[in-house]
Amino acid sequence: MSTFLDSLGGWLLVVLVGAPLLAAAVLLAVGDRVRDRAAAETGTAVAAGTLLVAALAAVGAAPYDRPGTGLSVDVAWIPALGVRFHLGLDGLGAPLVLLTALLTLLVCWHLVRVRPVAGRVRGLVACILTVESGALATFTAQDLLLFFVAFEVVLVPMWFVVALWGDDTQAPRVGEPSTPLPGGENARRDAANRFVLYTALGSAVMLLGLVLVALRTGTTDLAALAYAGGAGMSTTTQTIAATLIVLGLAVKAPMFPLHTWLPPAHTIAPTAGSELLAGVLLTMGTYGLVRVAVPVVPDGVRAIAPFLGALGVAGILWGGLACLVERDLKRLVAFSSVAHMGFVLLGVASMTPQGLQGALFANVAHGLITGLLFLVVGGLKDRRHTADLEGLGSGLRDRLPRLGWLLAFGAVAGLGLPGLAGFWGELLAIVGAWNGEGALGPLARPLAVLAAFGTALAAAYLLRVLFLVWHGPNGRSAAPAGPAALFAPVTVGDATTHEVAVAAPLVVATVVLGLLPWLLLDVTAPIVRVLLAGVGS
């Protein structure tokens, strides 16, 4: 098996990145003759194949306890800029490659039975597959500028997903039927534009930092840059580069206070879009921090680490407080994403092995748990055209037990209950921050304490949701009246077997990673040691 994979070598990675892109191009080219169901099934088949290739590549790249990438392909691309088409898979990228491939498969499979509120499925599947290709390229790119190009690939298709397939129908909230919420094409366009403008600006700023690194070191090879550990750049240069790169990535991560694009985009996006945003795009931002910021300009990152850590903790607290009062369930999950990413940022800022490990773990856990939550909440919103917490969640376990249980599971996992995946990342990030005096200075312990308080906030807001789901009045007696009746539920039934089957892999993965965290920690530990070697703490 291993020799077979070795003979395939890096071309497996080219297939991994190229296959979804090619399938997307074909889907776009065939025109509207393809029916929705067939398009979704094609997407599912391609995504399943990609997941298989990803699994093969992950096996082929093993073992992960040696430096360098197990699989790689390396071709000259733009010699004038020193850019190579260099893809490689190592312990840092492998978990995220698998997560991306899995989420894409689930999203496509979900579309086989559940149609989006607006638009044709063919284009949506093409966009999803393009996003997958860009994300996989980002997680395997071993060249600074190739990483940037791959990072940018997801922008336009994701913009289309929000702007064209967004769910803009907004029923009035329970209790205030007279005030219609902003909706319609403008709401979609607004959310999509905000997403793309924030991210494009962030990317442009990041590009300046990447170009500075490439000019001063004379190479764009990520392995060489990590090996040099910032050698050849003065501390000032490193600080400028780190500020630019981190600012750019922080928009996508997102870091407080640059997160304001995220709630509208998550809320408007169709279920598939929210899942990809949460599980793939956000992880790209934090992955970038670990891949192109910490090892490449370690002194620079150390210089700005206190700010990064403080803003991460601010995100944890802000997200938690917002969730305490948020009435829209989708926005609530979006704000909890901001809080989750705060832990990741804190872990990165600590620049300790535990912190970085925690950040990577929390990244994957976030993808699984928030992916599940958006699946459930999206399913609820599709049924009622509203995501109002009290209208939807109240007494959910009574009315729709399957969705109720799934939502409860997602909420419990999201608050970081020990035994589930969300726990380990947050724990390690807090431990890393506690030990992170090297980078965080005197702020290390206060930040760790505040972050721990953030977990209590998470418990509070998610228990609020759970309470409503479990004990709230089930609202059977109160039929919707007034404008709400316009949005009479399309399907009021409980989750179908199909929907449960789509959610099941996420639930299983959350439990498995919660009980057997070393499955992931053992993969990331060696690469984290390599990345932090240049830090010399």
Partner 1 sequence: MSAQTPLHAGITGVQAVDPLALAPAIATLVTIVVLVLVDAVAPAAARLRRVHDVVALTGLGVAGVFVAVLGVTASGRDLGPFAGAAVRSTVCVPGGGFVLPSCSFVVSPLTLTLQAVVVVGAIVCLLLALDGPGARDRSVHHLLLLATVTGALVLAGSRDLAILVVAFETASLPVIGLVALRRDAQGAQGAVTLLLTAVASLGLLLVGVAMLLLATGSLHLDRIAAAVGDPTLPDSVRVVAVAGTLLAVAGIAFKLSVVPFHLWTPDTYAGAPLPVAAFLSVVSKAAGLAAVVVLLGVGLPALGDAWSPAVAVLAALTLTVGNLVALRQTVAVRLLAWSTVAQAGWVVLPLGAVASGTPGDARQAVAASVGYLVAYGVASLLAFSVVVLLARHHPAGEDHTLEAYRGLARREPVAAGALGFALLCLAGLPPGLVGLVAKVVAVRPLVDAGVWWLAVVAAANVALGVAYYLRWTALLVVRPTATPPTWRVRPAEGIALGMSLALCVAFSVLPQVVAGLVPTALR
Which residues contribute to the site for partner 1 (CB under 8 A)?
Answer: 31-32, 77-81, 123, 134, 145, 149, 152-153, 155-156, 159-160, 163-164, 189, 193, 196-197, 200-201, 203-205, 207-208, 211-212, 215, 240
Residues in CB range of 501: below 8 A, 6 or more apart: none
Q: CB of residue 153 vs partner 1: minimum separation in angstroms? A: 4
**Of 154 and 360, CB closest to partner 1:** 154
Radius of gyration of the chain, Cα coordinates, nearest whole angstrom: 22
Q: CB of residue 285 vs partner 1: minimum separation in angstroms? A: 17
Torsion, Cα 504 507 509 512, to 10 degrees, reads: -120
Q: CB of residue 160 vs partner 1: minimum separation in angstroms? A: 7
Question: Per the structure block, which two tokens stand in for 449?
Answer: 């304490």
Q: CB of residue 407 vs partner 1: minimum separation in angstroms? A: 34
Three-class SS state of 41: helix
Q: Rounded CA gap, 285 and 306, in Å?
A: 19
**Of 55 and 215, CB closest to partner 1:** 215
**Of 156 and 511, CB closest to partner 1:** 156
* Pair 228, 217: CB distance under 8 Å: yes
Q: Rounded CA gap, 165 and 158, in Å?
A: 10
**Of 31 and 175, CB closest to partner 1:** 31
**Of 50 and 203, CB closest to partner 1:** 203
Q: CB of residue 287 vs partner 1: minimum separation in angstroms? A: 18
Q: CB of residue 121 vs partner 1: minimum separation in angstroms? A: 14
Listed as own residue / partner, the contacts of 495-502 with beta carbons closer than 8 Å and 24 or more positions apart are 495/376, 495/379, 495/400, 495/402, 495/403, 495/406, 496/113, 498/110, 498/112, 498/113, 498/114, 499/110, 499/113, 499/114, 499/375, 499/379, 499/402, 500/402, 500/406, 502/106, 502/109, 502/110, 502/375
**Of 134 and 422, CB closest to partner 1:** 134
Q: CB of residue 517 vs partner 1: minimum separation in angstroms? A: 36
Q: Could you tell me which of 257, 435, 256 has the C-alpha nearest to residue 347?
A: 435
